[in-house]
């Protein structure tokens, strides 16, 4: 059979056809002897030819690579086509008969060439499908880190300037008060001295009159003036007694640069060792042309939740699954999901109970109360705040209670344990300072304080509920500010949501696997659904669905939505994600 089609390169990715004339069937086989690609039918015809009966016909994937034509330098009319294993050099067939190679072992050079070709092809596949994409991903991560570093530094600069401005204002206030006090003291002293000066004016006038009288006696020629008019026991009035004023003293404050550092706050660089960036391992499997892209696999490994997220969407309607009463509480103001398929429920009177998903009480404790004041860590420990003592308590699974963090002058209102890294996010309040959010690590070390936006404006008033979105955004429900305030993980203000009506009074807040933000509104008695960027999507629950006074929301790992209300201890479960 004559060939009519050119051979397709071994690295080709397109559709392979049989190489025989007038045959348009798929290529399945390859003849290593004549380097011909063929279909099953043509293979059978090819092997029926007597001179082809010893041809090596294999599956196309197992083919040998055809040697590029290279002439032997010793025998220019011969092609190099064999390999001497002992000398480790390629030869032509005539070279193998020479004295230098007599008795040596030879193999088909095509075998060596095919092996080396596959090695190169495999390594190229690794480079294109794993090393380059992975390096590009890490490079993007470095760039994102650089952006984040700049944002954090800008946030620190803003906070430092705000603290300095606050200190300046306090210095100006104290200076003004001290100046006013000094002015009053000066006024009082001068009035007293003016009075003393007048006393001496009067006394000097008296002496002047007395001088004139005595001079009149001395100038008189009549003796009777001395005998009858001049008093015998004349006494000059004593010089008036006056006091020397005591002036105030100024004692300069004894302070150092360290004292100023304490007032303004200090930049601290932790001794924490930098972590190596995680490089996903390369799957050592098949690196053929049909090999799955390792970079894609890496992304899948990194974003398992994202893949799951892509299979989920909002349902057309919200469905009530069930409801049950929670013994031990008067209402349901906050819900924390326990890892062991249990819930912690609190009311607004300090009652905090742990229940199973059937509503059975497991344990109950009395607390100082609050709104979103409890959370469960990745280790299953309950964390709750004490507003009166200004501490954060931890209850381990063996029921040991410890004071975990002391918050100083700040009252801890709300708390959330991050599902991303285990950090604790705490919403706080202080008289005269309004509100802030503080981040602590798992051991209770303070990592971050968020209080102002990039313009120096205070972000929070009283952040009574707090949660974290899947992208690391920190979401707070601040009913004094009448807004949901959202910042990114660096503390940069992203947006504030103030409802859809003229009035908005946010209570419980949570997020879901799709990045939605759910928040209760105490004015319209509804649950608002926002997207990750703060855009209003819908009123997820309204009075038409039986919701009257929603105060708490919580979404579990199965995308069940738990809703608690003000005047009832009934906890209602809904489905809104399919």
In this predicted structure, what is the pLDDT of residue 228?
Answer: 62
Q: Look up residue 107 and give its two tokens.
A: 């193999």
Q: Which of 556, 475, 577 is nearest to 519 (CA)?
A: 475
The whole-angstrom separation of Cα 426 and Cα 437 is: 5
Contact 412, 373 (CB under 8 A): yes
Contact 64, 111 (CB under 8 A): yes
Helix or strand run (H / E) with residue 119: helix 109-126
Scan for tokens 């209850």, then name that residue: 395
Q: Look up residue 448 and give its two tokens.
A: 């971050």
Q: Look up residue 160 and give its two tokens.
A: 């430092």
Q: Which of 291, 293, 199 is nearest to 241 (CA)?
A: 199
Report field, pTM of the whole predicted structure over 0.85: no
pLDDT block averages, 10 residues each, the chain of length 578: 41 64 86 88 90 88 82 90 90 89 88 85 84 88 88 84 86 91 94 94 92 81 65 79 90 80 74 74 43 37 46 86 93 90 92 91 92 93 94 88 92 94 93 88 91 89 95 93 93 93 94 95 95 93 91 94 95 93
In this predicted structure, what is the pLDDT of residue 129?
Answer: 81
Helix or strand run (H / E) with residue 175: helix 132-219
- First-to-last C-alpha distance (Å) of the chain: 61
In this predicted structure, what is the pLDDT of residue 166?
Answer: 83
Helix or strand run (H / E) with residue 501: none
Is residue 224 classed as helix, strand or coil in its secondary structure? helix
Compute the residue count for the chain: 578
Three-class secondary structure assignment of 322-354: EEEECCCCCCCCEEEECCCCEEEEECCCCEEEE
* Backbone phi, psi, residue 20, to 5°: -85, 155
Contact 115, 83 (CB under 8 A): no
In this predicted structure, what is the pLDDT of residue 289?
Answer: 34
Strand partners, 475: 467, 486
Q: Look up residue 314 and give its two tokens.
A: 């909002």
DSSP 464-487: EEEEE-TTS-EEEEETTTTEEEEE
The whole-angstrom separation of Cα 362 and Cα 295 is: 47
**Residue 531 contacts by C-beta under 8 Å, 6 or more apart in sequence?**
515, 516, 517, 537
What are the strands, taking DSSP E only, across 410-452? 411-417, 424-430, 434-440, 446-450
Is residue 396 classed as helix, strand or coil in its secondary structure? coil
Contact 510, 522 (CB under 8 A): no
Contact 519, 483 (CB under 8 A): no
Q: Look up residue 476 and give its two tokens.
A: 């707070």
> What does each C-alpha distance from 104 to 71, 72, 89, 100 come to in angstroms?
21, 19, 12, 9
**Residue 365 contacts by C-beta under 8 Å, 6 or more apart in sequence?**
352, 353, 395
Q: Look up residue 266 and give its two tokens.
A: 């200090």
Contact 548, 565 (CB under 8 A): yes
Strand order in the sheet with 361-366: 334-337, 342-346, 351-356, 361-366
In this predicted structure, what is the pLDDT of residue 303?
Answer: 41
- Strands 361-366 and 351-356, sheet pairing: antiparallel
In this predicted structure, what is the pLDDT of residue 225?
Answer: 63
């Amino acid at each position: 059979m004559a060939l009519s089609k050119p051979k397709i390169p071994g690295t080709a990715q397109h559709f392979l056809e049989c190489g025989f004339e007038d045959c348009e069937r798929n290529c399945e086989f390859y003849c290593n002897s004549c380097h011909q690609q063929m279909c099953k039918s043509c293979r059978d015809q090819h092997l029926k030819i007597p001179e082809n009966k010893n041809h090596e016909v294999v599956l196309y994937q197992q083919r040998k690579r055809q040697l590029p034509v290279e002439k032997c330098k010793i025998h220019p009319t011969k092609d190099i086509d064999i390999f001497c294993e002992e000398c480790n050099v390629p030869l032509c067939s005539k070279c193998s008969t020479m004295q230098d190679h007599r008795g040596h072992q030879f193999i088909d050079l095509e075998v060596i060439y095919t092996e080396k070709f596959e090695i190169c092809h495999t390594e190229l596949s690794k480079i294109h499908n794993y090393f380059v994409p992975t390096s590009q991903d890490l490079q993007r991560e470095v760039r994102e880190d650089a952006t984040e570093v700049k944002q954090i530094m800008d946030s620190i600069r803003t906070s430092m300037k705000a603290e300095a401005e606050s200190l300046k204002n306090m210095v100006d206030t104290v200076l003004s008060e001290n100046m006013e006090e000094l002015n009053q003291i000066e006024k009082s002293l001068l009035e007293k001295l003016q009075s003393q000066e007048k006393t001496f004016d009067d006394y000097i006038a008296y002496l002047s009159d007395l001088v004139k009288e005595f001079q009149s006696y001395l100038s008189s020629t009549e003796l009777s003036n001395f005998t009858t008019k001049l008093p015998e026991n004349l006494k000059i009035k004593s010089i008036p007694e006056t006091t020397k004023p005591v002036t105030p003293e100024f004692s300069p404050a004894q302070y150092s640069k360290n004292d100023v550092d304490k007032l303004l706050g200090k930049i601290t660089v932790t001794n924490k060792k930098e972590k190596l960036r995680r490089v996903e391992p390369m799957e050592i499997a098949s690196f053929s042309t049909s090999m799955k892209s390792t970079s894609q696999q890496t992304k899948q490994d990194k974003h398992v939740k994202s893949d799951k997220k892509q299979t989920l969407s909002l349902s057309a309607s919200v469905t009530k699954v069930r409801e049950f009463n929670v013994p031990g509480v008067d209402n349901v103001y906050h819900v924390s999901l326990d890892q062991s398929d249990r819930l912690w429920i609190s009311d607004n009177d300090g009652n905090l109970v742990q229940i199973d998903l059937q509503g059975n009480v497991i344990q109950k404790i009395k607390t100082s109360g609050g709104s979103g004041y409890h959370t469960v860590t990745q280790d299953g420990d309950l964390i709750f705040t004490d507003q009166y003592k200004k501490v954060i308590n931890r209850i381990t699974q063996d029921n040991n209670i410890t004071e975990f963090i002391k918050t100083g002058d700040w009252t801890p209102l709300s708390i959330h344990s991050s599902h991303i890294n285990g950090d604790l996010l705490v919403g706080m309040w202080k008289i005269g300072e309004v509100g802030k959010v503080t981040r602590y690590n798992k051991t209770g070390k303070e990592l971050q304080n968020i209080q102002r936006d990039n313009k120096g404006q205070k972000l929070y008033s009283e952040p009574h509920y707090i949660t974290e979105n899947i992208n690391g955004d920190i979401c707070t429900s601040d009913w004094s500010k009448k807004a949901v305030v959202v910042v990114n993980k660096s503390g940069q203000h992203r947006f504030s949501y103030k409802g859809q009506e003229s009035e908005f009074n946010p209570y419980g807040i949570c997020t879901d696997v799709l990045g939605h933000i759910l928040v209760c509104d105490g004015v319209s008695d509804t649950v608002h659904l926002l997207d990750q960027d703060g855009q209003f999507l819908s009123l997820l629950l309204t009075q038409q669905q039986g919701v009257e006074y929603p105060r708490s929301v919580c979404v579990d790992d199965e995308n069940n939505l738990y809703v608690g209300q003000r005047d009832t201890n009934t906890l209602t479960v809904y489905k809104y994600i399919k």
